[in-house]
A = this chain, B = another copy of it.
Amino acid sequence: MSEEKVYTAAIVVIGNEVLSGRVQDLNVNYLALGLKDLGIRLREVRIIPDVKATIVDTVNTLRALHDYVFTTGGIGPTHDDITAESIAAAFDVALERNPRATAMLEQYYGDRINEGRLRMANVPAGGELLDNPVSFAPGFRLHNVYVLPGVPRIMQAMFDTFKHRLAGGRPQRSRTVTAFIGESLVAAGLAAIQDRFADVEIGSYPFVRNERFGCALVSRSVDEASLARATEAIAELVRALGVEPQISDGES
């Protein structure tokens, strides 16, 4: 059997406002779920400040390691929006005023166009515009780096316009065995099951519900047969401890 390509991705959240605690990031979770459906593994997220050298270094590190890098934030018209110029620097290409983005902005603003607004049409040479169905600031793709806005509603809409064009592998499926049992009671048996299934990733997530301890035992795999067998082994482990498990598709 030939080796199957595993597609991987990283996200770079560019945002002083996330690091300062001003806002709760919501983009990572949306992208994580979207990438999972596409068969692309999200391997790493970095939240970094609006500092050009940091953006350049981070993007250059991650684009060499992963099939895809998604950045969020910093593509508006103000002085702290430095993502486009930083990506240009990362790839060592010029930052150019994109004609199509300029035309879109001119159409949107009419005679209210100004230099600040036109700044949003600056795209690194070779960059391909990404459609923005909600507002007007275009995102762009340069090689394997996708530059998206920070506002969640706009980021989500933009991602949804191009995600079907991203190449991915077999999607990782998940099944969950939920049981009202302390996870330390299943720990040894679970470790033994993990050892038997190299192609299944098993995670244990404790919870408290109605003042009862329980755990969600999640299996993840691209192989449906392995996933089914691991899930059944975990359910059996729970039953052997005298507890009736609940089995469901997905991660909860």
A residues neighboring B (CB under 8 Å): 13, 16-26, 28-29, 32-33, 36, 41-50, 76-81, 114-117, 119-120, 151, 172, 174, 183-188, 190-191, 194, 201-206, 218, 220, 251-252
Contacts and interface: CB of A to CB of B under 8 A. Distances in A.
A49 B45 contact: no
A79 B191 contact: yes
A187 to B, nearest CB: 3
A245 to B, nearest CB: 16
Contact of A16 (B116, B186, B201): B201
Contacts of A188: 114-116
B20 A204 contact: no
Contacts of A81: 204
Given A44-B48, A47-B45, A50-B203, A251 B184 contact: no
B46 A44 contact: yes
B22 A184 contact: no
A17 B45 CA distance: 13
Nearest to A78: B204
Counting chain B CB atoms within 10 Å of each CB, which of A21, A25, A28 scores highest?
A: A21
Contacts of A41: 19
B77 A187 contact: yes
A58 to B, nearest CB: 9
Nearest to A193: B79
Contacts of A22: 174, 205, 218, 251-252
B80 A204 contact: yes
A44 B46 CA distance: 7
